Amino acid sequence: MLSVNINLVFTIINLLILAIAMRIFLYKPVQKIIAQRKEEADSEYAKAAEKQKEADALKDQYTKSLKELEDEKKETLRTARKNADEEYRRIINRAESKAIAIKSDAQIQAESTRQQVLKRAEREIADMVLEATTKMTGDAAEGKEINSSLYDEFLSKAGEQS
């Protein structure tokens, strides 16, 4: 059987005191440190979640800005193409009108030059005929005038027929 002696009672009391002392000096501080660490981890997790939300918001904002810039770029290109086409048409129309004007001026100038060449040729022919006639008929001043007027009349009739 079990005998109860004083040593057993003191051992039980010592164990109880030791358990209480360990609970006060070891278990509660360790629990307190564990709670602090848990709070720190929760706080860091909350900060990380907040930073993640901010990052997601910035990403959404960036994506939206990027889409707006892309749309603006497309619109700018569309406007630039339209303006370039209008400028191209304007330049082409101006060039065509200048070409038409230059062609018309060239035709007028060519016709004028042709008329001058014809008149010069007529005068030269008239002078040659007059000179030939003068040589054949002599040096009469009166003959020159008559022949010249006859030749001018001939040329004007010939010019009217052609």
pLDDT of residue 39 exceeding 90: yes
Helices (H), 2-140: 6-22, 28-137
What is the pLDDT at residue 99?
93
Alpha carbon distance 34, 135 (integer Å): 145
CB neighbours of residue 146 within 10 Å: 13
Q: At what angle do helices 28-137 and 141-161 cross, to 10 degrees?
A: 130
Average pLDDT over all residues of the chain: 85
Alpha carbon distance 79, 69 (integer Å): 15
Q: Where are the domains of the chain?
A: 19-161
Alpha carbon distance 79, 72 (integer Å): 10
Dig out the tokens for 86 from the structure: 């209008």
pLDDT of residue 48 exceeding 60: yes
In the predicted model, what is the mean pLDDT of residues 25-34? 89
What is the pLDDT at residue 144?
58
When comparing pLDDT for 159 and 37, which is higher? 37
Residues in the chain: 162
pLDDT of residue 61 exceeding 60: yes
